[in-house]
Structure 1
Amino acid sequence: MSNTETAPTELTCTTTTASSTVEILTPRDVPLGGPRAMQVRRTLPQRRRSFIGAWCFADHYGPDDVSESGGMDVAPHPHTGLQTVSWIFTGEIEHRDSGGVHEFVRPGEINLMTGGHGICHSETSTANTRVLHGVQLWVALPDHARNAPRNFQHFAPDVIEVDDAKVQVFLGSLAGSVSPVETFTPLLGAEINLPAGGTISFDINAEFEHGILVDAGSATVEDTTIGYAELGYFTPGRTTLTIAGAADQPSRLILLGGTPFNEEIIMWWNFVGRTHEEIIEFREAWENETDRFGAVEGYKGKVHRLPAPVLPNAQLKPRRNPS
């Protein structure tokens, strides 16, 4: 999914150390697009935290009835220096990219697109979609891989049962389930579904920091409850994690993890770079329709491609987390 904000905030992201056992990150509402924009709840990045592992962007949206609004129609737009991860609960999205990939995003199936040196893609909800509901995640590529070639991976993980929960591991490994999807830093991504009053306990990588995003119900860890749409952050060092869901309703959670990402990045619009000058270069390449991003074939939307927003007048500088 594109960040279709018309005045995107420039971010240089750095790591920081949490001061509490469980750090609760609350979302902010962000409209994507024009007057009939789809609202998303954004928990990463924010002033308090920019990364969980290499996860650098998390939008949580829906359930939205799109039968009246016309659904999702995001024209071709560019990406650099990142991987996009699409995971939805309800609905269906058609994906086309400049690598020649034509694929669909469906519930329980991960679509991971690598836009290192440059890629562009379009996203439209299908005609039979009435409700859209899911998460859109970005992964920052480390310096050695940030010019990686275009790539796309699609995978439908099996549902496994762990204690009271049903789990799908779409990235990394957890509870004996391993995803074949390749990433450039160690990562974990999983959907966890708990019945009312259910609990789950499992081993985790002590070198990872972790986050739990609550889509429904709640998640209680170490006497701290993570509420609806909140993201709970956990520092490295744990070897096990025990989660209790809400007592009165089912809980659906997205578990994220990864080794701490110790590089600074500048994230502006749909670009991830390292310097102000790089962002200017990326924008000019997109506006001039160079070969860096290629072209999407088969998209039949209202506009040919999304124009890049105007750069701010000031030099793009670090926006750091509080210590």
Structure 2
Amino acid sequence: MPRAKGRRYRLAILKLDRLGDGVLSLGSVRLLVKEFGADQTLLIISNVAEPLFRNEFPGVDMLVLPPFSQSFWPDFVQTMIWHASWLRAIQADDLVCLRHQPSDYLHAIASLVRARQMHASEWLGAGESVCLAYTRCRRVPYPEYSAEGCLELEAHRRVTQSVLGRSVSFNDIIPVLHSSFATGDETLLVCPQAGAAIRQYPPASLALAIALFLQAVPEMRVVVCLPPGTLRTPYEQSLQNAGVSSVFWVYPANLGELRQAISSARLVLAPDSAPAHLTTAMNKPGVFLLGGGHYGMFAPWRRSTLQVWLNHHTDCYQCQWRCSHAEPFCITHIQPSAVAAALQSVYAAAGVQCVLAAKKQSA
């Protein structure tokens, strides 16, 4: 909760979203906090992204809410009962919404905050059914195209630029998390889970890609990273069938442990997921498998050539994951050989950067 109920802030940022989406907003949030002051900013964030924002913005007040409201009862009603008094007590000069997909849940929360000026994007093609709207809102159009490949980051840039009243470049809002190259054993960290099963690469294809990569880099240790409680049997059986042995399994209990696993790895393999966005923000070497459900919206993006996103284009792209086929061909038709080749390429590039970094330190 905020440190004082009824306090006035220069800036309140509304970002109720998943962890990966929170990562994508880091650059904009950092720029806005720097401009308005940490002690003059309130973050209204989700419980799933709270550890990320607490770590990155320790001096900023935060109000933590559920990321979404799946139904009017009990989700929406209970959230309002528990948090409406705190929301009504918030006073802010500027309220900035960095979730661009419209919803009446966001509209209701924003309407309770006493803000002089609201800032948000206007996404006419979102396809969401809403009854409410933001008041006293300065809107910028949600992008239809981004030269950098990620519409969400471009939307963040546009909103941030509108709030600040000055030019903001794409590089200004690129998410950055600090990390370092791995210095221990050669480790391939595999994070196979995504937020929805439809976005996940089939275990058999994943195992074959890993086996092909290990033929070129046999000294690489394979670590599979799964959320706590996830059944590992499908992956374990597929890896065994592909001839991949001596696999290590980790189950990070929190964000800190997940970041440590990524930071200590030489290379990361994942679908479009929070680990993929964390890896990219940390500028770690990684290969990520991207489907077409909302291709270009949240990915691809990269901090350097060390991050590669693979996809298989189909005519049904932008289906919003309402797949009309027996399986998501945009994911399942990514060839294991292409995944292995990308891993080899990124691994080689990372090796060159490690050598250059070592020379720089010894100079």
**Which structure dedicates a bigger proportion of its chain to strand?**
1
**Which structure dedicates a bigger proportion of its chain to helix?**
2
TM-score, with normalisation over the residues of structure 1? 0.25
- Structure (1 or 2) with the larger CA radius of gyration: 2
Higher relative contact order (CA 8 A, sep 6+): 1
